[in-house]
A and B are shown apart, each in its own frame.
Chain A
Amino acid sequence: GAVVSQHPSWVICKSGTSVKIECRSLDFQATTMFWYRQFPKQSLMLMATSNEGSKATYEQGVEKDKFLINHASLTLSTLTVTSAHPEDSSFYICRAETSNYGYTFGSGTRLTVV
């Protein structure tokens, strides 16, 4: 079946640095990638939607200059958390949607900013 590989699975970074999270579709082309954030003991909240080759669409309240999303190819989408702060510590997970209507999640990235 369709697999989305997400890396890293966990990362600890210092406050003020940037972190890049990658999601790769291994055996299919992901026309659309969704990025979610999940704070401890909370639900998954959609941050943004990206389509290959175009700018991402951000949900209300999500800072697009802080959470940079790139979807340069049909197999790779990246989320960069710029100038990370402790309040950005969260679980980030991507979801790919293929052209034939599938839902495939990455395995998630646990970000801790110290």
Chain B
Amino acid sequence: AQSVTQLGSHVSVSEGALVLLRCNYSSSVPPYLFWYVQYPNQGLQLLLKYTSAATLVKGINGFEAEFKKSETSFHLTKPSAHMSDAAEYFCAVSASSSNTGKLIFGQGTTLQVKP
């Protein structure tokens, strides 16, 4: 069984500050991990994914995440927040061995960026 926990349902940063959104996962098999972003009234857009290659993954819009197996974490970071980063962020896991590929999502973190 798999699960995802996102620590902090709401994160507020100032424009230009570091963004850190936390995600911890639980998986009995090697996982694939994903971060999705959802802007208001829109669908889910893939930011980045980990698929057992490099542990530091770079995504779109300057975001990156590091897979740490020992900590079962996949935290999302961005060095400098921009006003346009304000959105809902979801961490998700799927089993690399899964033949269905279903995603299990975390509860989401709302990122607020203050001017």
Whether A and B are associated in the same complex: the answer reads no
